A and B are shown apart, each in its own frame.
Chain A
Amino acid sequence: MSSAGISDSKAVPVDDVDRNVFPISVAMYHEMIESGILTPDDRVELLDGILVTKMPQNDRHIFVSEQIRDLLTAMLSAGYHINSQRPVQVPGSEPEPDLTIIRGVRSDYLSRKPTGADTPLIVEVADTSLARDRAKCALYALGGYPCYWIVNVNARQVEVYTQPDDDRALPGYEAMRTYAATDAISIECDGVAFGMITIADLFPGK
């Protein structure tokens, strides 16, 4: 059971409210942004119809994100580009994952956001957000994202989720494998291998 209430002085049972939540659609969310009701100062994602506060990034989170970004950039070809914290499409949501490998060039996506079919890899760096990032498996599977990494900064390991089942009622990944610091993982997009990353290289220190 989640912690009770949204503001601590009004102890509303969370389950009751969840049942009656009026979901914000992706279209409504876009209108809120276009009309300036939401501004870049509002650090939010739309997750299953709710505006959710994006977690602030500490130094370790930033280090790991940028480290992965550098490693991937060095090995990928011109047929792909990398985004950081940019929105992607999921039915009913608009998450902003820490990193994505997107097929094509940026100008291919001027008028639309990438979908699961465009995105060989999604990465979330989990420092304080591990539980939420694991729960996001359901959302990314629903969006058909073929490969989802959770980079667990505290445990110095990477959880790799593959084979999404986009079943509306119970989306999820069919396979999960954990890579420890001594392991290496192959970076593959559309069946083409681009190189290996040693997990230990993702994290600061030893």
Chain B
Amino acid sequence: MMTRLIQAPMVPVRTVWRRRLADAYPISVTMFTRMVDQGILRPDDRVELIHGLLVKKMSMNSPHRIAKRKLFFALNQVVPPGYFVDEQAPVRTTDSVVEPDVMVLRGNPDDYFPEHALASQTSLLIEVADTSLADDRSKKKALYANEGVTNYWIVNLADLQIEAYTDPTGPSDTPTYRSRIDYRPGTSIPVVLDGREVGNFKVEDAFPKPNE
């Protein structure tokens, strides 16, 4: 058999490996939960499951931590019996497990054990956004709107406002919230749980003081 002469000069081949997320094998909520239970994923890994993919949570800087605590405190002043305030606790959807910064749930913690609450069960779900603002506005907002989370706040540290999103479209090709109202320091933000206004607090009480 004849071997053809070498045709083209040999050239270095540097094909870059790009993660082809469209081919990703979806990790189910059950698989993710087992990975956490078995210690394959640890709390300090700061990872969420979003539409079947493991996604890093942004690490929290000091303003983020302070805002979270102040928000938690402010909500606890107004949230009535029959509800409780939780922070950094997982909620699930059909294909995701995420940890909103703060949320308000009906009932008490025992009602949501051992299975985590569904995102749609929250009466109020809040993300504090600094570096994560783009993600919280797009990816997370779509996820929560798709799940029918009725009340979604973004505490926008960079722009010093609380963005209150309501009236989710529910499952859709482009899920979103039909209504958005922004609340700035100098005003009060109403806390509405399941259609009932239970109180309000001053917007500036949710933000770190300038020297914090």
Total residues of chain A contacting the partner, CB 8 A:
58
Report B201 CB to chain A, min CB distance, Å.
32
Residues B13 and A172 in contact, CB atoms below 8 Å apart: yes
A163 to B14, CA, bound (A): 12
Is the C-beta of B178 less than 8 angstroms from some C-beta in chain A?
no
Determine if A50 and B24 form an interchain contact, defined as CB atoms under 8 angstroms apart.
yes
Q: For the complex, would chain A's binding face be called helix, strand, loop or mixed by DSSP majority?
A: mixed
Is B13 in contact with A137, judged by CB distance below 8 angstroms? Answer: yes
From A3, A42, A50, name the one whose CB has the most chain B CB atoms within 10 angstroms: A50
- Residue B159 lies at the interface, judged by CB distance under 8 Å to chain A: no
Cβ-defined contact, B21 with A14, below 8 A: yes
B residues near A20, Cβ cutoff 8 Å: 55-56, 135
Name the one of B19, B23, B31, B35 contacting A21, with C-beta atoms under 8 angstroms: B19
- Bitwise, B28-43 to A at CB < 8 A (1) or not (0) is 0001001100101100
Q: A7-B51, A17-B53, A138-B17 are in contact. Are A173 and B12 (CB under 8 A)?
A: yes
Q: Provide the main secondary structure of the chain B interface.
A: loop
Contacting pair B15 A137 (CB below 8 A): yes
Chain B residue total in the interface (Cβ 8 A): 53
- Neighbouring A residues of B10 by C-beta, 8 Å: 174-177
Q: Are B45 and A22 in contact (CB under 8 A)?
A: yes
> Known interface pairs A32-B35, A134-B15. Does A50 touch B21 (Cβ–Cβ under 8 Å)?
yes
A residues in contact with B20, CB < 8 Å? 2, 52, 132, 135
Q: Does B179 contact A (CB under 8 A)?
A: no
B120 at the interface (CB under 8 A from A): no
Nearest 4 CB-CB pairs, A to B?
A172-B14, A138-B17, A22-B54, A175-B10
Inter-chain pairs besides A10-B175, A24-B54, A47-B17, 4 sampled, C-beta below 8 Å: A21-B53, A52-B20, A53-B25, A134-B15
Contact residues of A with B, CB < 8 Å? 2-3, 5-7, 9-14, 16-18, 20-24, 28, 31-32, 35, 37-38, 42, 44, 47-53, 132, 134-139, 161, 165, 170-178, 180, 182-184, 196, 198
Question: 22 A-B contacts, Cβ less than 8 Å apart?
Answer: A9-B146, A12-B139, A12-B142, A16-B134, A17-B50, A17-B139, A18-B21, A20-B55, A20-B56, A38-B31, A44-B25, A50-B24, A132-B20, A132-B23, A135-B16, A138-B16, A161-B13, A173-B12, A174-B13, A175-B12, A178-B8, A184-B2
